[in-house]
Structure 1
Amino acid sequence: MKGKVFIYMAAIMLLAGMVFAAWRFFYSDTSKSQEQTQTSVPEPHYNLRLGLNLSADSALHAAAQRFAQQVSARSGGRIEVTLYPDQLLGTDEQMIEMAREGKLDLLLTPTAKLSVDVPAMQYADLPFYFADRSELYTMLDGEPGKLLLSKLYDIGLVGIAFWENGFKQFTANRPIRRPEDFTGLRIRTMKSRLLMDQFSAMHAEPVVIDFATLYQALADGAVDGQENPLVAIAGKRLYEVQKHLTLSNHAWLGYVFSASRKVLESLPQDLRNLIIDTARELTTWEREETARREIAFLDTIRAAGVEIHELSDEERQRFVEALTPIARRYGFDVGYDLLAKTDELRTLALLAQAEKNNLPAISLPWLIGLDADLSGTGLVAGGSILRGMEMAVADINAKGGILGRPLRIVARDHRQNPQRGIQNMEAFDGMPGMLAIMGGMQASIVQDELEAIHRLQIPVLIPWAAGSGVIHHDYRPSYTFRVSIDDGWAAPFLLEHAQRRGRHVAVLLEQSAWGRSNEEALKPVIAKFPPDTIELEWLNRGETDFSARLAELQSRGVDVLLLVATAPESKALVEAMAQMEKPMPIYAHWGFTGGKFWQQSHNALNKVDLRFVQTILIENNKRNTRVTVFTEQYRAHYGLAEIDPIPAPIGAVHAYDLVQILALAVRQAGNGDHAAIQAALETLKKPYAGIVRDYHPPFTSDRHDALGPEVLRLARYDRWGRVVEAE
């Protein structure tokens, strides 16, 4: 029996072993098969198209060829780039649209062609704005360039690098060595308001002519001169019909290497990085190749008998002075966030050089900072404040500066972010010679900065923010000083006027610290009115549809609105109001004037009666000669015609007065010590005849508001967008 059991168990074990062996064989074979299947799947390949408008013999095309070769090699053939020069895929405008839609992968586009959708791309078109190539490249490859490229994202492109077609030079049939030499000449230009204004400023007549017909226009005498890089002057043989070339290097014809946002974001991350890194690495080679070829172009032009002039430092400076107003005029178009960053880097370079050379402090400028929104919903307010500061600084420096040293502005964009604002404060405090900081539009930002302001103990001047908390706080001694209004008296002023206009008022307040400040100011006033005649509602930042809300309010008998909101929400509300059969009048706080409200809403304002609070009305103010002089100087400084609106004028006026008051305080203190300046601001002995009012004194130890409710006025926009008297 035992023998049979043993045999039986042995048979079972043998069978189990065979099954296990078979399973192992099958599993191993299957795994190998799966592994072989997985490893045999080829990696995806991408065939990308790159479009550009230049010919195959250009430096840009040569760099693009290198890009294609290096990307293919570095990716192991996973990416192949095919070039399409000479506008084979369409015009620049068509290629831009194709890339935005994801129908073209990569492109090289002149900055001028991108400026239609991104006006900031006019940055390098500003005449004589950059000292030399080195400074321009430093800016384009640094923070300003990154900021500029980032602006392409919103139009469906990813900006990668700045390549170039060279610096622009002047040609004419007479020598051009001074701005006056352009007087009376007809100069060909592209269709660009900035470029046309450039030549008009030198008393030439700008004439828009297509580049394809430029040679014939010069040959026929239809125009007397033009501007272009040497590659265009030589390539188009313009030297055959022009007698003089001026090496002015006055502006730069840049090309943006960009990618379709849709296409780039569809690629694996490693390939995205490969494309971006390769294009950026080739930037230096492309620029050097452009410069190398320009030597040959000059030889060709010189051999044709053209007289070549190179501007001396003195001659160049005369052009700089003549064309500086162009850069000022286009500040809002190019963007004060970009221009401010450029000026900051220039100032930091100046300070670094002074430290390196161990120069005494007396040889350096005094600094005043600006911490404001230069790129968001308050960008018009921020730019207006900066302009008021610029005017005051120009006036102060023309009179010898402060204590023998010139004054200089350093502006930083806090982008409506309080943490960035605090970082700005700390950065300013670390700059030698920083006297004080000017704040921006948003009261909530200033309130969040109060701890940092008083920890650093640096005077902060407020030209706009109306929130009560920016001045009325528990920090002692207080370092915040304001030339602006306070919600405590602005909100009741508006309610009083609104209540005179209608029987039932609805107050719409933004859900923010600013809105709550107005609520606190209105509560005791509302309590004095009969019940059900005034109601209060809140609106949210980003709210875009007010049609149903307005209809509901009107159905409840509301016949006038009081509005406290910034530009985007105000625009949406006014446009909804314009669609109503019987639009209600609106009385508004001035916050919306700090954004691009009028530019976006002027058509709706033809149907809506909108009135808003101001401290001073500078248009057609014949009663105040100081206002008249300021307005005339402002328009001359920024190249504006009489009917051109002064953007957000109260920002400029308040900032101007504050800088002048600061200068008096520093002179009284006798030095740049922050505590001494704070004390001098509270005890200023010398009166100042300002634009808004006479300040005698502007502040005291227990009063840091320089204005009072007596300055309040009601305003409206006229048909040109100027802020004028409403009643």
Structure 2
Amino acid sequence: MKQNRWKKYFFGSASLLLLLTVVGCQEIISDTKVIKLGHGLDTSHPVHKAMVYMKERLHEKSGGSMSIDIYPNQQLGSERESLELLQIGSLGMTKVSTGVLENFVPKLRVFGLPFLFRDREHRFSALEGEIGEALLDDGLDKRLKGLTFYDAGSRSFYTKTPIETPEDLQGLKLRVMESNTAINMVKQLGGSPTPISWGELYTALQQGIVDGAENNLPSFYLSRHYEVCKYYLVDEHTALPDILLISTLIWDELSEQERKWLKEAARESSEFEKVIWREAELEALEAIQEAGVTVTYPDKDKFREKVTAMYDEFSEDPEMKKLIDAIQSTK
């Protein structure tokens, strides 16, 4: 039974049939379980480096009986496509933003609430405690099991024209993720939200399809969006963590020991990522300023006032209100 599942897993993606045939043959010969992990980030991104670290740790912990093959740069599809592949077992693991995952796991909409966390320390306390642990398992009925959260910093706006206040966003076409919460936020701030795939955003900015976007500093820098957008507003409106997921179709066929190895390796990689993420933020800030980007620090209260209606809307759902209160009361 397990052998059939793993065969199906290795050969599930038609677009990579030849490659997977080779990998599959290697697995049968070596008797090593290889989990295929696809994501949309560049190989220089801190989260990708954390995944490489996880692969190394898993290999060490399992004595070589388990490994991970990593496919970056949307080689296996967009974030949404990767989630769908996980659900049918054609992909083993992926990393997505919780903003995209909210379309599959509605409770994760909470991370899209602007100014939810007081600061970096508060965010980690919530994610690494009982609240975060419960949210990792909230997608089990969708065949999606969370293993750990990765720090994705805070998201801010960047545009082609100067911005300092919410009024400066009026009428601007701003790229957002495929997230209803992100769409609503931009509307509340007066902008025109435009969902576009991350891989298509540079061209969309160049061609004027959108006037700007919102993301964290390392992503703004590594994507080279600073070549088109010369204004970065550090309003830090949201802090959506990334989440590392495994298909339950694969998870359920791992032994208890294999699950323990994988979970430990994932958690260790998130600790590793927190350190290099902070370094990447500082490096990105310096680099974009050297490239001529104007970085401004606005009065956040002006932005916070514009989105209070989102909290009222969320609070109409008793479960969401309970979750919001739990997060905000976390020390």
What's the TM-score, normalizing by structure 2?
Answer: 0.82
Task: Give the Cα separation in 2 of the matches to 1:327 and 1:97.
Answer: 30
Per the alignment, residue 285 of structure 1 pairs with 272
Residue of structure 1 aligned with 2:325, choices 321, 343, 362? 343
Equivalent AA in structure 2 for residue 275 of structure 1: L
Structure 2 residue aligned with 1:215, among 194, 202, 206? 202
Shift in CA distance, 111/305, structure 1 to aligned 2, threshold 3 Å? same
Matched residues in 2 for 1:92 and 1:191: separation?
Answer: 10
**Contact 2:116–2:328, Cα closer than 8 Å, also in 1:** no
Measured in 2, the distance between the counterparts of 1:190 and 1:100 equals 20
Cα deviation, residue 325, structure 1: 1.3
- Deviation of residue 331 (structure 1)? 4.5
After TM superposition, give the deviation of residue 44 of structure 1 in Å: 5.9
2:309 pairs with one of 318, 325, 345: 325
Q: Deviations over 1:86-128 (max 9, x none)?
A: 2223333333233222332222222223222112222222122
1:60 to 44, 47, 57: 47
Partner of 2:13: none
**Which residue is equivalent to 2:22?**
none
Cα gap change, 1:348 to 1:208, in 2 (>3 Å): closer
Residue segments in structure 1 that go unaligned for 5+ positions in a row:
1-42, 350-727
| Structure 1 pair 68–325 and aligned structure 2 pair: CA distance change class (3 A) | same
Residues 341 and 117 of structure 1: is their aligned pair in 2 closer, same or farther, counting only changes over 3 Å?
closer
Which residue in the other structure is 2:21 paired with? none
2:314/2:320 contact within 8 Å kept: no
**Partner-residue secondary structure (3-state), 2:155:** strand
- SS of the counterpart of 2:146? strand
- Do 1:183 and 1:203's aligned partners in 2 also have CA atoms closer than 8 Å? yes
Counterpart for residue 188 of structure 1:
175
Is the alpha carbon distance of 1:95 and 1:344 closer, same or farther for their aligned partners in structure 2, counting shifts above 3 Å?
Answer: closer
Partner residue of 2:71? 84
Match of 1:383 in 2: none
2:111 pairs with one of 113, 117, 124: 124
Q: How large is the Cα RMSD of the aligned pairs?
A: 2.5
Shift in Å at residue 213 of structure 1?
Answer: 4.1
Deviation digits for residues 542-579 of structure 1 (CA, Å, limit 9, x no counterpart):
xxxxxxxxxxxxxxxxxxxxxxxxxxxxxxxxxxxxxx
The SS at the match of 1:71 is helix
SS in 2 for 1:282: helix
Aligned to 2:261: 274
CA distance in 2, matches of 1:55, 1:167: 19
The SS at the match of 2:241 is: strand
Q: Distance in 2 between matches of 1:84 and 1:56?
A: 9
Q: Which has the higher contact order (CA 8 A, sep 6+)?
A: 2
Alpha-carbon distance, 1:72 to partner: 0.8
Aligned to 1:262: 249
Instruction: Specify the alignment match of 1:308 in structure 2.
Output: 295
Aligned to 2:138: 151
Secondary structure of the equivalent of 1:266?
A: coil
AA in 2 matched with 1:292:
E
Give the match for residue 296 of structure 1: 283
| Helix, strand or coil at the partner of 2:239 | strand
Match in the other structure for 2:215: 228
Deviation at 1:305, TM superposition (A): 1.5
* Counterpart code for 1:280: R
Cα deviation, residue 62, structure 1: 0.8
Distance 2:173 2:123 in 1: 29
Report the equivalent of 2:57: 70
Q: For 2:242, give the aligned amino acid.
A: Y
Separation of aligned partners in 2, 1:348 and 1:89: 37
Q: CA deviation at 1:336?
A: 4.2
1:517-532 mapped onto 2 (5 Å cutoff): none
Percent identity (aligned): 28
Deviations 1:446-480 (A, max 9, x none): xxxxxxxxxxxxxxxxxxxxxxxxxxxxxxxxxxx
Counterpart CA distance in 1 for 2:160 and 2:321 is 35
Residue type at the aligned position of 1:278? A
Do the aligned partners of residues 129 and 89 (structure 1) sit closer, same or farther apart at CA in structure 2, a change above 3 Å counting? Answer: same
CA deviation after TM superposition for structure 1 residue 60, in Å: 1.3
Query: In 1, are the aligned partners of 2:41 and 2:73 still within 8 Å (CA)?
Result: yes
* Residues 292 and 70 of structure 1, relative CA distance in 2, 3 Å threshold: same
Contact 1:243 1:307 in 2 (8 A): yes
Question: Which residue identity does 1:252 align to in structure 2?
Answer: A
Contact 2:40 2:78 in 1 (8 A): yes
Q: Is 1:105–1:263's contact at 8 Å kept on the other side of the alignment?
A: yes
AA partner of residue 310 (structure 2) = I
- Pair 1:210–1:258, CA change in 2 (3 A): closer
- Aligned position for 1:675: none
Aligned length: 303
CA contact (8 A) 1:231 1:297 kept: yes
Distance 1:228 1:273, change over 3 A: same
- Residue 112 of structure 1 corresponds to which residue in structure 2? 99
Q: Deviations over 1:633-669 (max 9, x none)?
A: xxxxxxxxxxxxxxxxxxxxxxxxxxxxxxxxxxxxx
Q: Rg: which structure is higher?
A: 1
Deviation at 1:342, TM superposition (A): 4.1
Matches of 2:308 and 2:78, distance apart in 1? 33
d(CA) in 2 for partners of 1:108 and 1:261? Answer: 15
Q: Which residue of 1 aligns with 2:147?
A: 160
Q: By how many angstroms is 1:338 displaced?
A: 5.0
